[in-house]
Amino acid sequence: MGCTVSRKVGSAVARNRVKRLIREVYRKHRWHLASDVHLVIVARPRAAALSYDQCDEAIRRLFHNGGLLLG
């Protein structure tokens, strides 16, 4: 899994927070993903305003819509 957060998202503090949120959501759900999946997540400026729960919901929705979840 790779993630990228551009400077458009905000300051270095905001960008690092978004990266931490994305990595944590991935860590929490990686066991539910197919084993042959390669991911690149690109954060948009709106991501800086998300709470952990909102980030978790958004990424899980992406996994589900992309057919990446097992079962």
Asked if residue 38 is part of any domain, the answer here is yes
Asked if residue 70 is part of any domain, the answer here is no
Asked if residue 9 is part of any domain, the answer here is yes
Asked if residue 21 is part of any domain, the answer here is yes
Q: What percentage of the chain carries pLDDT values higher than 90?
A: 86
Asked if residue 39 is part of any domain, the answer here is yes
Pair 6, 41: CB distance under 8 Å: no
The predicted structure's pLDDT at residue 17: 97
Asked if residue 48 is part of any domain, the answer here is yes
The predicted structure's pLDDT at residue 35: 85
Residue position matching structure tokens 């197919």: 34
The predicted structure's pLDDT at residue 61: 94
Q: Closest Cα to residue 17, out of 53, 47, 56?
A: 47
CATH for 9: 3.30.230.10
Alpha helices in the chain (DSSP H): 12-29, 52-65
Number of domains in the chain: 1
Which residue range(s) make up the domain with 31? 2-65
Asked if residue 71 is part of any domain, the answer here is no
The predicted structure's pLDDT at residue 71: 67
pLDDT tens digits, one per residue of 27-61: 999 999 988 889 999 999 999 999 999 999 999 99
For the question of whether the overall pTM of this predicted structure is more than 0.85, the answer is yes
